[in-house]
Structure formats: structure tokens, C-alpha cells
Amino acid sequence: MAESAANVFLETLRDLLVEETKFLLSVGGDVEKVKGDLRSIHALLMRADRGRHASPTLKLYISQLKDLAFQAENLLETYAVEIQSKKEGRKSLKEKFRRYICIISECYSVHEVGNEARDIMSALADLASKLESELGRESSPLSRQEYETRQTYAHEVEHDFVGMGEDIEILVSKVKDETRRRRVVKIYGMGGLGKTTLARKVYNHTDLQSYARAWVCITQQFQPKAVFGEILRQLDSNAGQIDGMEDRELVTRIQSFSEGRKCLVVIDDIWKNDDWEIIRKAFPVNCNVILTTRSENIANQQSEPHKLKFLTEDEGWTLLQKITDISPADPDLKSFEDIGRVIVSKCEGLPLSVCVIGGILRQKVHTLPEWRRVNVDMGSYLRRGEGVEEYKRVNQVLDLSYDALPYYLKPCFLYLACFPEDAKIETERLYLLWMAEGFISYQDKGPNESLRDVARRYLTELAMRCMVQLHEAKTYYQLDKFDSCGLHDLMHDLCSSKAEAEEEKFVKRVDASKYLTDILSPTQTRVVIPPSIGNSVSRLAISCDFNSTVSSVDGLEEVKGLRSFTLLQKFFGTPNIGFKENTIDFKMSQYLRIFVADCCEFEGGMLPSKLGELIHLRYMSLRGSNVRELPKSVCSMPYLQTLDLRVPFPAVIRLPNVIWKIKRLKHLFLNEDIEVIGGEKLRLDGLQELETLDKITSETCCIADIPRLISLQRLCVAVCDVDSMSTVLSNKNRQLRETRVWVKSCDLCREKDMEVLNDGLMTPSLLTLQMERCNMSGRFPCYKQGMCQNLVSLELAFCKVKVDVVEFGKYPMLRELALCEVEIAETLTFHPNSFPQIEYLGLYELHDLRKWEVEEGAMPKLTSLTICECPNLDKVPDGLRSISTLRMIEITKMPRQFMERVNEEDCGPFV
């Protein structure tokens, strides 16, 4: 963790210094010295991590670095806010006191800041000297025992082997196929899936025994000469003495031997693409190579990927049966199977887990109570191993994945420990939290990229390393095709154990359901967290996986020094967790950067009074909570990046018209139903860094400000007048990537209004268009080249307009189309290749529709169809039968004759 700690602290300070240079007046030189020392320490700690230094002394130095970095960060931010306050020229001390009470109370002066900066600088210089001395000692390479543990061999026999038959056939056929252009196959997947087992089965396959073969296992400390020597020695039994050969000669000999021969080389457990680039030079184009790796990124240009899948439940049970030696004739076999399948499901298809639990059961007496006991204690056996040596295999396998992470990904991975097991983590929220924590580096930004783009790359890399599982979004987003992610249970255990380790104290997650009590009153359930849990942690995450109402969360009153507080509810709904004024002492956690209070019931619907004084806050989420009014002090949070005010419907939140003053605000989430204190529309014009604006309406927000938001990338807006619609649809902001528009009750009868709509449909960022109760002259705009090139969802409801539905079939990206009570032709014919991407089609209250034909090749991806109250439609089109993706047809409020025809048709089973 040395590298990741260094990276987080350095990035936070460096980014702060870049932003605040203009404020730091006479202490600027001292600050630059601090910055230089941090950079030097960063380099030293990267050396420590690569050299596998893990001495107690080094851990102590890292802890000291963290304390110094926090101290420097707090000093610089507080000072910068005070300087800005002075520049703004507040007229009265009383006014300044109201806005910056926490700053004035500390009464910093330039002289005092300079002294403190010099103290930090001196401590950092001393720390750098100690680190240099510690790293000057001999590094600690892999012990012989650890090296042997990691090695794999081709001749090892897999006694208990299940599944993979199809995988073996595919890979063997690829090796034998001499016409293949690329002769490298990459088997990749999560640690413990059986990549080495599969490679060994292929290597030892009877059809490949005539091949010259070599098997080498690559450790994370790659030594090219040793690898080349081992390959040559196994391929060519007549190679002679090779110990004295140099790398170049070994490569030449391998190439020479492999030319014109049938060869197979397995490179097992390769971790870095750079290592592969060195190894691959030894092989001629005709040499078959199989790589096993945990990273999808390895050898992308040269290899054919083969992703290994998790075991099915049947395969898992078969494997468990083999390992435990349960007799097929056992009279209790059915009962053993019932328990065994539960055990297998907890292993989530990971063969390594099944093997470990099977090994434990094999050592015990085969009785149903013993199996039930193991089932109950699965967590202990797989995670902590209580008394069982077998469990170390799981830890060793998964630890390697963590150790191999680059320094910038380690804190991102550890942060996932904030979320409970089996949680579906919203990628959008995760990106913004990573950014608020300072994990995302400004230096990694490419041209025209935002920090959010960098965060997405980080998550993608974790997924390609098979450490995180990405879930594809049901709704299309141009910025990201995945809307959530998660961890395999064992990977979550690894993450939690690393993050909560005593020496790390990266985060502490509390499962609130374990601390529910109604001891004081049967009608008032509380969460009472032991105070010791919150001691000495900078990040505290409380997860609430229950639906019961909780009157309060107690036990956090004495927690000091929190930098991140998250109270996460699994399901968003009615606020059900009481949050009192004194739940957290914000004075003792005045440097809080993240405050998440999902589904909380705040006293009187008001935020704790001290919350508005947290000038260091980056991320504040009140999602699903009962907050009725946001205090004016929110504009005193100069570093705030994300503000999430999505309170539950039908609640209305009252906002002071000061949000436009939060200059660094990047992501603002609102509900349509807001009330602006003072009666004016919500100003947005000062938010030059705003990237996300979701969800606003022209009734309460100043839509004319939107073109001034030069950094805006994502916009979700409801408009109720033509001028607002024109402003939104004619926005020429090149940064804008996603626009979602809901047009309500607009009168578009004038020709120029329809021209606005026509031009707006040419906007590349337009993803969603919903028009409801609009009065339009003539027809909906006909398709022309470039129109709706990224539109994925279109809904027209109760609009006075004539629609040519066939025209919509030309929209290249349209996935969802819903039409309700609009004027259409009596006959619809969907031609081949029309609606190429559509997945959902809804036809509601279309009284004109009489006949509908679907020709073969139309709607090739349709999965769901709804027909409701179309009384004159004669029947469901015969062409639907040829759409192989169709899974459901929902029919409501249709005539009896229509339903009788449906039941007679082949599509009946879908209805």
C-alpha cells in the first residue's frame, strides 16, 4: 500500500496547490518546497512498493506521511479560503463571521501560515531522509518457499476436474489449426477460476503429444534470461549447456528451433504487458502460445482472447461431490446435495472456493450436521481460515491480484470496501466519490477529457484485471455503457480485509443491522454503534440493508477527525433513518470532505447547523432524505464538487438562490420540484466548471443561463415554453455529450417553432426526447441525413401532430419508441433494415391504426412490445415471428376478436 498512500496524498496536495497558487501570496516559496518534497517522497515510496519492502519502520513512516499530508492540506485550504474572503472585501466583521466562522476562529495570518508550512516542510525533509535510509537496505525478494508456492508445472495431475470440456476442444482445435493468422491464445479471468488447470489440460491433450512443448510460470518478478533458458531447455532436449548464454542467443536458438516445427509454449500467470512484449520476440509466427493471465489487457494486439467462465451450480455440485468422495449409493445423498448446492452457491461459481470447502469437508466425518455446520461457517473458512490451513490458498491467489495493481488503482479498489457485500454500486456515484477523495489524477487527463473520464478508465482497468464486475446499463448512456459494478464475494472479502487492516485503517464499514436495538422503547428502534468502532478512522461507511424505521444513529458523538462519512441505504424510498443535530460532532470533524446521508430523516427537515461550516467539503448527498430547505451557508463551501439533492417525491426542497456562487461545483443533481427562496428562478450562470446538471425545469430554473455553462457535458431538463425549448435544443456547447429533454404542454403551431424542433433534432448530444401534450403544426419533422444520430429514446404522448412512424425507423440509434394518442396512418409497414437498434416499442391509444405489417429484417433486436387500446388494429403482424430476440408482448384493453387471433398465432406464448 506504500505506493497508493503516497499517490493519494501527493495528488490531493498537488491539485490543491495548482488551484490555489494565486491565493498563497508570501508563503508561495514554502509551499513549492512542500510540493517538491512530497514528489520526492512519492518516488521513494514507489521504490518501496516495487521492492516489496514491508518493514514495520516503513509502515510507521507512511503513517507519518499521511498525518503530514492531512495537516498541509487543511492548512492550505483554510488559508486559501481566508485570503479569498479578504479579496472579496466583506464590509462587516459580522457578515464575515457568519460566512467563515470556522476560519475566523482559528485567526490565521500570513505569518502563522508561513511558520506552519515551514514546520511541515522540515518534517517532510526529515521523513524523506529516513525513507532514503530505510530503502538503502537490501530489498526483500520472494522467499524460496513463496517462490515455489507460486510456481506451476505442466505434469501436475488434476484429480478433481469438472466442466471445461467445450473450452478444451476449442483451444486444442485452435492449436491444431495451422491456417490461423494469430497463433497466440490468451486465457483470462479472475484468480481461482482454473486458468492454469485449463491450460494444463490443453498442454497434455493426446492430440498434442507430438508437439515440441514448453511450460513456464512467470512470477511478478520477471527474469527474461531464466524464462528463455527454461523454454529452450524444454523445447530442445539436445540444446546442451545453455546457462552461459546471453538473452539474445537464447532468443535466436528458440526461434531457430521453432521454425518449421509444431510447437506449443504455455506462459502461465503473466502479469504485465511489458513482460509479454519481451517474451514474444522469441517466437516465430508459426509457434503456438497459450497465455494465462488475470488481465484482459495483456497481448491485446497479438492474441485471441478466451475468457474463462464461472462454474454453473450443477458443475459446482459435481466438483464438490468429487472432492468430498460422497458415495452415489449414500442413502442421504439427496440431503447432502441440498446442503452442497447451498454451499456451492455461496462460492459463486469460483472453483478454488469449491475446492477449499470440499477439502475441509473431506477431512470431516460425513454427517449431515457436520455439513450444515460448515455451511453456516463458510465465511470463517474462506476468509479467515479459523483453524484450517487450506484457506491460505484463497488468500494467496487473490492477494496476488491486489499486489499487482499499479499504485493509482489501489486506493480506488480499497474504496469499494465502503459498500456492502453483493451491492450494486452506481458507477456515476463511485466516480464522483473517487474524485472527491482525490484518487483521480489531473495529470492523467487527456485532451478534452474530464476527471470523470479518467475515473471511468480506472474502473475499466480494474474490470479488465478481473477484480471488478461491470453491469451493462439498461438505459443507454453515451458517456458510459455500464451503470453499476460489483465485487465477487471473495474479492469483496479481500478488499475489506486490506482496507480495514490495523496498519492501513483506510476505511471502516459498519453494518447497521448488527447494532439495531429497541431497548429504550419497543416503538423506537435505534442503531447504537459502539464508540470504539469510530476511533482512529478517517473514513466511516455505515450501510443500512433494512426497511424498518430507525429513530436515530447513536454512538458517533465522540468520533474525531472524520474526512469521509457515508450512510448508505440499499433501496431509495421513504426516509427511514433518523439523523439528529448531534449525531456527528462536526466541530471535531471540521475537515470532512464527503458527507452522504441517504434516506435520512433530519430533525425538522433541516440539516445540522454546523454542516454549512464545512469549508473542505467536496461531496454532499442528501438523496432520498427529507430535507425541506438548504441553508444559505452552502455557498460557503468553496471546494464542493458534487451536490445531490434528489429528495423523494412528492417532497419539495426550498433552495436559496446562491448555488451559482459555488465556483468549483461540477455535478448538481436536483428534482424537478424545487422552490427557490425569494421567488426568482434559480441562477446557474456562475457555474463555469459544472459538468452535470440533472434534473431541472424551466418553471424554476433560469434556462437562459445554460449556454453560459461552458463545461457542461450532461444535461437533463424539462421545458414548458418555446423559448426554453429553443435555448436547450440550439445549445452549441461542444462539450455537451448527453442531452435529455422533456417538452411539456408547448404550443409549437408557428412555423418558426417547428424549425427550432427540426434544428434541435440535428443536435448530436440529444439522447432522449419526450414530448407531452404539445400542439404542433402539420407533421413531425421528416428524417434527413444527420438527424437524431444519437437519439435512443423517443416518446410522443397526447400531442396534436401527424406522425409518419416509418420515418422513425431511419433513426440509427433508436432503442425505445413510445407513441400515445397521436395521429398516424391507417397502415404501417416496417421495411427490412428499419429500426436497426430498437428494443422496446409501445403503441398506446392509436385509434387510426388498422393494419400493421413487419417485413423480415425489420426490428432485428426487438425484445419487448406493448399494444394498448388500439381498437381498430386487426391483428399482431405475422413478421414478428421471425424476430428471434422478442421475449414479451404485452396486450391490454384490446377487443375480444383481436385477443382470439393472438391466441391462434405462433406469437401467443410471448403474450
563, three cell numbers: 474526512
Identify whether residues 347 and 463 lie together within a single domain.
no
- CATH code for the domain in which residue 751 is found: 3.80.10.10
Look at 266-275, 362-371, 726-735, 894-903 and tell me which has the smallest mean pLDDT. 362-371
Instruction: Identify the pLDDT of residue 520.
Output: 62
Q: How far apart are CA 182 and CA 52, in angstroms?
A: 36
Locus of grid cell 397526447: 798
Report which of residues 634 and 427 the model is more confident about: 427
Mean pLDDT, residues 607-624: 89
pLDDT at 645: 94
Q: Residue 888: inside a domain, yes or no? A: yes
Question: Is it true that the peptide bond before 695 is cis, omega within 30 degrees of 0?
Answer: yes
**pLDDT(363) > 90:** no
Q: How far apart are CA 756 and CA 715, in angstroms?
A: 18
Q: Which residue has the higher pLDDT, 389 or 190?
A: 190
Measured in degrees and rounded to the nearest 5, phi and psi for residue 694 equal: -150, 110
Query: Is residue 136 left, alpha or beta, with left meaning phi > 0 and alpha meaning psi from -120 to 50?
Result: alpha
What is the pLDDT at residue 361? 80
Residue 79: which CATH number? 1.20.5
Instruction: Reply yes or no on whether the pLDDT at 446 is more than 90.
Output: no
Give the up-direction half-sphere exposure of residue 720: CA atoms within 13 A in the CB hemisphere: 8
CA–CA–CA angle 863, 869, 870 (5° rounding): 80
Q: What is the mean pLDDT of residues 142-161?
A: 53
Asked if the structure places residue 638 within a domain, the reply is no
Residue 837, pLDDT above cutoff 60: yes
CA dist 909 and 676 (Å) reads: 52
- The grid coordinates listed for 568 are 448508505
Joined together, the cell numbers standing for residue 187 give 486465457
72 part of a folded domain: yes
468 and 486 fall within a common domain: yes
pLDDT tops 80 at residue 682: yes
459 found inside a domain: yes
User: Residue 240: is its pLDDT beyond 90?
Assistant: no
What is the spatial distance between Cα 169 and Cα 841, in angstroms, rounded to a whole number? 41
What's the average model confidence in pLDDT over 228-257?
A: 85
pLDDT bin (cut points 50, 70, 90) of residue 840 is very high
Q: Is the pLDDT score of 650 beyond 60?
A: yes
Indicate the residue among 499, 515, 533 that finishes a domain.
Answer: 499
CA dist 375 and 342 (Å) reads 8
pLDDT over threshold 50, residue 321: yes
pLDDT at residue 818, as a whole number: 96
pLDDT exceeds cutoff 80 at 889: yes
Higher-pLDDT residue of 68 and 87 is 68
DSSP codes of every residue in 234-280: HH-TT----TT--HHHHHHHHHHHHTTS-EEEEEEEE--HHHHHHHG
Q: What percent of the chain has a predicted confidence (pLDDT) above 90? A: 29
Domain count of the chain? 5
pLDDT confidence tier of residue 419, bands split at 50, 70 and 90: very high
Lowest mean pLDDT among 146-150, 698-702, 876-880: 146-150
Sign of CA dihedral 201, 206, 208, 210: positive
360 shares a domain with 377: yes
The pLDDT tens digits for 562-615 are 889 999 887 777 778 889 888 888 888 888 999 999 989 998 889 988 888 888
Question: Does residue 650 have a cis bond before it (omega within 30 degrees)?
Answer: yes
Count CB neighbours of 602 within 10 A. 22
- The yes-or-no verdict on residue 343 having pLDDT over 60 is yes
Check pLDDT > 60 for residue 23. no
**Which of the given ranges, 407-421, 511-525, 625-639, 705-719, has the highest pLDDT on average?**
705-719
Residue 21: inside a domain, yes or no?
yes
* CATH number of the domain residue 389 falls in: 1.10.8
Lowest mean pLDDT segment, chosen from 2-16, 205-219, 452-466, 862-876: 2-16
> Is the same domain home to 296 and 318?
no
SS (H, E, C) 77-106: HHHHHHHHHHHCCCCCHHHHHHHCHHHHCC
CATH of the domain at 440: 1.10.10.10
**Does residue 158 belong to any structural domain of this protein?**
no
Coil, strand, or helix at residue 684? coil
Confidence category of residue 535, pLDDT binned at 50, 70, 90: low
746-769 pLDDT per residue, tens: 998 888 888 889 989 999 999 999
Boundaries of domain holding 490 = 407-499
Quick one: 299 and 337 in the same domain?
A: no
Q: How far apart are CA 23 and CA 262, in angstroms?
A: 69
90-149, pLDDT tens digit by residue?
444 344 334 333 333 333 455 566 666 667 667 767 776 777 776 665 444 444 444 444
Check residue 820 and give its pLDDT: 96
Rounded Cα distance, 897 and 68, in Å: 79
pLDDT range class, residue 88, cuts 50, 70, 90: low
Q: What is the mean pLDDT of the chain?
A: 81
Q: Which helix (H) or strand (E) holds 9?
A: helix 2-20
Question: What pLDDT, on a 0 to 100 scale, did the predictor assign at position 47?
Answer: 62
288 and 317: one domain? Answer: no
Residue 184 lies in a domain: yes
Other Cβ atoms closer than 10 A to 310: 18
**Residue at a domain's end among 437, 471, 499:** 499
Q: What is the pLDDT at residue 732?
A: 79
- Same domain as 78, residue 190: no
What the block records as the C-alpha cell of 309 is 467462465
Among residues 147, 139, 146, 143, the alpha carbon closest in space to that of 51 is found at 139
How far apart CA 844 and CA 345 sit, in angstroms, is 43
> Could you give the strand order of the β-sheet that contains 800-802, starting from the edge strand earlier in sequence?
747-748, 775-779, 800-802
Clarify whether residues 894 and 753 are in a common domain: yes
Task: Report which residue type is found at 794.
Answer: L
Same domain flag for 318 and 301: no
| pLDDT above 70 as % of the chain | 78
Instruction: Judge if 130 and 274 occupy the same domain.
Output: no
- Residue whose cell numbers read 509444431: 262
* Sign of the CA dihedral running 220, 224, 229, 231: positive
Residue 217 sits in a domain whose CATH number is 3.40.50.300
Q: In this predicted model, what pLDDT tens digit does every residue of 167-216 receive, in sequence order? A: 889 999 988 888 787 788 999 888 888 888 888 889 888 999 989 889 98
Please tell me whether residues 302 and 265 are part of one structural domain: yes
Task: Decide if 142 is inside a domain.
Answer: no
State residue 708's pLDDT score. 93
Nearest to 624 by CA among 585, 654, 597: 597
Instruction: Please tell me whether residues 418 and 335 are part of one structural domain.
Output: no
Domain boundary among 307, 322, 346: 307
Question: Which three cell numbers, joined as nine digits, stand for 241?
Answer: 549447456
Lowest pLDDT segment from 96-110, 658-672, 849-863: 96-110
Which of 481-495, 792-806, 845-859, 863-877 is predicted with the least confidence, judged by mean pLDDT? Answer: 481-495
